[in-house]
Homo-oligomer: A and B are copies of this chain.
């Protein structure tokens, strides 16, 4: 692991994107988003994901020059067509539009059809919370989890994000897929030949197992909360697909390079108009109570979601962003 300054990582990504046909401002934003995901410690969806992103552009699945267009609007809700543009740029502009709608109406929602993988969902939660807004957003995915009671993947793992703004960027942001473990995590445990810390799916005999390889083989990953995550996945899918006029998860190609035409939802709420005096004090007190809880492992303070992200971000901004040496070399070769 090498550590490189954030700016160097961002610049190299930008140069690579310019070479792929991105206009300057779009290359800049797309590079920043990839660099931020890496800096925040979500390494699976940062630089490590960039080669696959490039591959989808070369395949014509992701169209660098395409951006969302408005389909219809009513009050504080809008439908947009993502025109198969880059998922993170489409996601960013959709959340930004939801924020604008919320500033005018207290709440705003954008439903986006025909978009691509948004990389880290939490990005759009942090985006809203950093601007002082509450937010929720979600996406569907290719079918990669069996619905509860089904043998084969039928529903998406449909990541769902909720963001709560707090002063100083100490936002609470939860970014959770509807499967207990991602296939990336399963293959990491398989490579290290380690059992999962908790059961993550079913083996060939239909038994709950911590054997990651067995789960990858059956493709029977466990939904969070068993029947509950399965049901929530369906609800998220239909909210996004029906309101955007886009595809449902089962219609999305089951090939990670061809996964495209996703349906997403972006909601933002601006608390200002409600005039809640003690809003931040409520969050501070809740966090203080959490930190005071007796931990299962002595010395390991109980955390809220997003707390560790901010710590890692600050550390990586100071010490440099950890990058895989081989991937970094590849990026430099592509960029310069």
The chain A residues found within 8 Å of chain B, CB to CB, are 71-79, 104-109, 111, 134, 146-152, 154-155, 162-164, 172, 174, 176, 180, 198-199, 206, 208, 224-226, 228-229, 231-232, 234-239, 241-245, 248-251, 267, 269-279, 282-283, 285-286, 289-290, 293-297, 300, 302-305
Q: Closest CB-CB distance, A34 to chain B, in whole Å?
A: 24
Complex-state Cα separation, A278 to B124, whole angstroms: 28
- Whether A149 contacts B296 by the Cβ 8 Å rule is yes
A302 partner, pick from B154, B235, B241, beta carbons under 8 A: B154
Residues of chain B within 8 A of A303, CB atoms compared: 149
Residues of chain B within 8 A of A111, CB atoms compared: 274
Residues of chain B within 8 A of A293, CB atoms compared: 146-147, 150-152, 154
Complex-state Cα separation, A27 to B74, whole angstroms: 37
Q: Closest CB-CB distance, A254 to chain B, in whole Å?
A: 13
Complex-state Cα separation, A290 to B153, whole angstroms: 10
Complex-state Cα separation, A259 to B331, whole angstroms: 57
Q: Closest CB-CB distance, A32 to chain B, in whole Å?
A: 25
* Sample of 4 further A-B pairs with CB below 8 A, known A74-B272, A74-B273, A150-B296: A152-B294, A235-B305, A243-B276, A251-B285
Copies of the polypeptide in the assembly: 2
- Whether B296 contacts A243 by the Cβ 8 Å rule is no
- Whether A232 contacts B174 by the Cβ 8 Å rule is yes
Offer 9 A-B interface pairs, CB within 8 angstroms, sorted by A. Answer: A74-B274, A75-B105, A107-B107, A134-B242, A162-B239, A176-B231, A180-B228, A241-B282, A241-B286
A75 partner, pick from B104, B154, B237, beta carbons under 8 A: B104
- Whether B105 contacts A180 by the Cβ 8 Å rule is no
- Whether A294 contacts B134 by the Cβ 8 Å rule is no
The residue of chain B having its C-beta at the shortest distance from the C-beta of A237 within the complex is B286
A235 partner, pick from B164, B198, B238, beta carbons under 8 A: B164
